[in-house]
């Protein structure tokens, strides 16, 4: 199993250190810590009523990808995806108007044509008047940024609310992030939960895609040339490990490559023939999913068994899934399910900890034990297992096994939600930048910044500072004035500093020390005021749950 450690998940796990006293899921501590239920209550408490929320062994994928709704930006950029403009249906006219206006807007940003940008914004406004959720969301983005209209948070929030009510997931992300910054955690949790769940819909077995590693355009004030070179390294592989890596890029659509299950299958097959066990496991998943091939659980079982026999322990998670569903095997066997998940967990495989936690949480083949489930989930969270992060967020939201804490739940849901397919915008932004299309890159990074992505916030701010002489920044009535550009960059740096970006914190503290007419304050000049506690990376322990620096 691909074991890519998600930096954002680490940051989310660290947030537990702030509430260390809440994370002591052990019977010996329950009497002293009122935040944790007793062993008996945890085994028989509210989980019975809530267990339907944890359907982690669902049969199939949804018929339609919720991330590819008509309001998604993905069809606007990816010409290989389904067009957002439907040929029929009640919203086909507004869909077509939205898509035409949005594409014209991105084209105008590329060309540095503020008049064409303004005309495109008018189209978007017309589509928004027809109630199109994507147009409402994009109009909210323009209003919040002050593009071809005065910058104003109130209209932006109202438009995002209307778009969110119509089902736009990106507006839900933007609203959730806004509420999160204002410490309105009840609202943030409610809004983050849906895109977080949507971000997990493409996973099966215990497999979740590795995070699209966000590329930071800059290192300090200079361009990050090393990272940019690595992004385009797609050399034809000559050995099994390289074949697996290239297959992985095609399977998940990473590093500028479009997702292509056929090519992924081809490279995984070549690597597996050379004994590459990770490829064997992924071939098992491909057959179980029917991703680019006809679904075949017998073939899935064969490849997963081959990988497991060669001590590739994450493959036991896939085998456990097949046995819990009875796919590709003679019959369901919950004893084997537990044994397989335990084997994976004993060999420090995060998916094993997570899946075993689900068994204990729901009482599948074992006696229900919420305290043990919490322990297992926390182990998986520390290893960056996304499903575990999502489930622990639920535990904190509902107060099951852990004291209810909406702040921590919001942090964890945010971490998962940011793995949604909208992260593709970051890839296209980077590709645009590498082609010299800085205007389009700025537009895409600015959109992701609004959704709460720290790397996008710092990239957008850096572009505004670095390319201040170029006509790429769209302002209230044309190109940005120096004041508009400076204020927008400052806002992005500020948001990035709130999320732990130290370079952004330095810039903000310098701005307060030297400029702006703000009275000198040692506190403002210190990084402590701006750097989030989530920059620290302690681990959670089963015994105390406390962070260890």
- What is the distance between the alpha carbons of residues 179 and 148, in angstroms, rounded to a whole number? 25
Give the per-residue pLDDT at 493: 95
Give the per-residue pLDDT at 527: 32
Q: How far is CA 302 from the centre of its chain?
A: 32
Helices (H) and strands (E) in the chain, counts: 26, 4
Provide the pLDDT confidence category of residue 221 given band limits of 50, 70 and 90: confident
Within a domain: 469: yes
- What is the distance between the alpha carbons of residues 420 and 212, in angstroms, rounded to a whole number? 10
Number of domains in the chain: 1
Contact 168, 194 (CB under 8 A): no
Within a domain: 432: yes
Contact 158, 143 (CB under 8 A): no
Within a domain: 146: no
Whole-Å CA distances, 269 to 247, 287, 307: 9, 12, 13
CA angle 119, 122, 128 (to 5 degrees): 150
Helix (H, G, I), strand (E, B) or coil at 80: coil
Provide the pLDDT confidence category of residue 237 given band limits of 50, 70 and 90: low
Contact 47, 368 (CB under 8 A): yes
| Residue/partner pairs of 295-304 with CB below 8 Å, 24 or more apart | 297/322, 297/327, 297/328, 298/328, 299/328, 300/327, 300/328, 301/327, 301/328, 301/329, 303/272, 304/280
Provide the pLDDT confidence category of residue 188 given band limits of 50, 70 and 90: very high
- Across the chain, mean pLDDT equals 78
Give the per-residue pLDDT at 122: 94
Tokens of 292: 């680019």
Q: Please indicate whether residue 469 or residue 386 has the higher confidence score (pLDDT).
A: 386
Within a domain: 435: yes
pLDDT at 220 over 70: yes
Helix (H, G, I), strand (E, B) or coil at 478: strand
Tokens of 397: 């939201």
Give the per-residue pLDDT at 315: 92
Residue 479's φ and ψ, nearest 5 degrees, are: -70, 155
Give the per-residue pLDDT at 214: 73
Give the per-residue pLDDT at 470: 78
Instruction: Name residue, tokens 């056929």.
Output: 262
Across 77-91, average pLDDT? 48
Across 130-155, average pLDDT? 94
In tens, the pLDDT along 415-428 reads 999 987 777 788 88
Count CB neighbours of 131 within 10 A.
13
Q: Any idea what DSSP says for residue 21?
A: G
Q: How far apart are the first and last CA of the chain?
A: 28
Least confident segment among 90-94, 280-284, 439-443: 90-94
Instruction: Name residue, tokens 């736009």.
Output: 168
Residue 222's φ and ψ, nearest 5 degrees, are: -105, 155
pLDDT at 48 over 80: no
pLDDT at 313 over 80: yes
Q: Any idea what DSSP says for residue 526?
A: S
| Closest-CA residue to 244 (of 217, 257, 259, 263) | 263
Give the per-residue pLDDT at 544: 33
Residue 239's H or E segment, with its range, is none
Q: In percent, how much of the chain has pLDDT > 70?
A: 72
Within a domain: 385: no
Angle, helices 153-165/133-145, rounded to nearest 10 degrees: 160
Provide the pLDDT confidence category of residue 245 given band limits of 50, 70 and 90: confident
| Closest-CA residue to 173 (of 490, 448, 542, 530) | 448
Domain CATH number, residue 437: 1.25.40
Within a domain: 465: yes
Give the per-residue pLDDT at 83: 43
Give the per-residue pLDDT at 219: 84
In tens, the pLDDT along 327-341 reads 988 889 999 999 999
Q: What is the pTM of this model?
A: 0.79
Q: Which residue segment(s) compose the domain that 439 sits in?
A: 421-514
Give the per-residue pLDDT at 385: 86
Provide the pLDDT confidence category of residue 475 given band limits of 50, 70 and 90: very high
pLDDT at 1 over 60: no
Within a domain: 498: yes
Strands 478-479 and 218-219: unpaired
- What is the distance between the alpha carbons of residues 328 and 296, in angstroms, rounded to a whole number? 8
Across 220-248, average pLDDT? 77
Give the per-residue pLDDT at 91: 55
| Beta carbons within 8 Å of 432's beta carbon, 6+ residues apart | 110, 438, 440, 441, 444
pLDDT at 205 over 80: no
Contact 352, 317 (CB under 8 A): yes
pLDDT at 61 over 80: no
Helix (H, G, I), strand (E, B) or coil at 479: strand
Q: Please indicate whether residue 524 or residue 510 has the higher confidence score (pLDDT).
A: 510
Give the per-residue pLDDT at 514: 57
Longest Cα–Cα distance of the chain, Å, equals: 75
Q: Any idea what DSSP says for residue 472?
A: T
Three-state SS letters, 426-451 = HHHHHHHHHCCCHHHHHHHHHHHHHC
Across 16-44, average pLDDT? 37
Checking phi first, is residue 132 left (phi over 0); if not, alpha (psi -120 to 50) or beta?
Answer: beta
Provide the pLDDT confidence category of residue 548 given band limits of 50, 70 and 90: very low
pLDDT at 123 over 60: yes
Q: In percent, how much of the chain has pLDDT > 90?
A: 46
Provide the pLDDT confidence category of residue 233 given band limits of 50, 70 and 90: low
DSSP alpha helices (H): ranges in 130-276? 133-145, 153-165, 169-181, 185-199, 225-231, 240-252, 261-273
Within a domain: 482: yes
In sequence order, what are the beta bridge partners of 548? Answer: 539
């Amino acid at each position: 199993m691909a074991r890519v450690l998600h930096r954002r998940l680490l940051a989310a796990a660290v947030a537990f250190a702030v509430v260390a006293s809440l994370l002591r899921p052990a019977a010996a501590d329950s009497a002293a810590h009122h935040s944790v239920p007793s062993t008996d209550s945890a085994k028989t408490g509210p989980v019975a009523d809530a267990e339907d929320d944890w359907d982690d062994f669902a049969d199939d994928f949804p018929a339609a990808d919720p991330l590819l709704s008509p309001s998604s930006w993905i069809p606007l950029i990816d010409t290989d995806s389904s067009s957002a403009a439907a040929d029929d249906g009640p919203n086909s006219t507004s869909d077509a108007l939205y898509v035409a206006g949005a594409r014209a807007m991105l084209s105008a940003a590329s060309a540095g044509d503020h008049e064409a940008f303004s005309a495109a914004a008018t189209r978007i406004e017309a589509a928004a008047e027809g109630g199109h959720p994507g147009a409402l969301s994009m109009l909210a983005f323009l209003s919040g940024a002050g593009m071809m209209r005065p910058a104003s948070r109130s209209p932006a929030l109202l438009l995002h609310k209307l778009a969110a009510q119509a089902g736009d997931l990106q507006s839900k992300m933007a609203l959730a992030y806004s509420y999160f910054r204002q410490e309105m955690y009840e609202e943030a949790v409610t809004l983050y939960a849906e895109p977080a769940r949507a971000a997990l819909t493409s996973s099966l077995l215990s497999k979740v895609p590795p995070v699209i590693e966000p590329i930071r355009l800059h290192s300090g004030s200079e361009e990050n040339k090393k990272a940019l070179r690595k992004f385009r390294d797609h050399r034809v592989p000559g050995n099994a490990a390289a074949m697996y890596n290239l297959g992985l890029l095609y399977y998940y659509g990473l590093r500028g490559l479009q997702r292509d299950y056929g090519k992924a299958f081809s490279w995984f097959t070549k690597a597996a023939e050379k004994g590459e066990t990770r490829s064997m496991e992924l071939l098992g998943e491909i057959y179980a999913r029917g991703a680019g091939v006809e679904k075949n659980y017998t073939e899935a079982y064969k490849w997963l068994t081959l990988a497991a026999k060669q001590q590739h322990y994450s493959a036991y998670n896939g085998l456990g899934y097949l046995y819990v569903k009875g796919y590709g095997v003679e019959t369901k066997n919950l004893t084997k399910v537990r044994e397989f998940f335990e084997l994976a967990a004993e060999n420090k495989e995060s998916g094993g900890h997570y899946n075993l936690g689900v068994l204990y949480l729901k009482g599948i083949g074992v006696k229900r034990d919420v305290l043990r489930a919490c322990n297992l989930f926390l182990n998986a969270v520390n290893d960056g297992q996304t499903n575990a992060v999502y489930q622990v967020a639920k535990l904190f939201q509902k107060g099951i096994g852990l004291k209810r804490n909406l702040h921590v739940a919001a942090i964890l849901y945010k971490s998962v939600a940011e793995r949604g397919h909208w992260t593709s915008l970051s890839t296209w932004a980077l590709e645009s930048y590498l082609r010299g299309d800085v205007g389009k890159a700025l537009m895409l990074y600015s959109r992701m910044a609004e959704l709460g992505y720290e790397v996008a916030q710092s990239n957008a701010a850096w572009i505004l500072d670095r390319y201040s002489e170029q006509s790429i920044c769209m302002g209230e009535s044309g190109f940005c004035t120096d004041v508009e550009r400076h204020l927008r960059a400052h806002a992005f740096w500020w948001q990035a500093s709130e999320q732990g970006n130290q370079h952004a914190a330095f810039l903000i503290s310098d701005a307060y020390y030297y400029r702006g007419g703000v009275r000198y304050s040692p506190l403002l000049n210190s990084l402590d005021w701006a750097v989030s506690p989530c920059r620290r990376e302690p681990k959670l322990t089963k015994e105390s749950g406390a962070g260890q620096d």
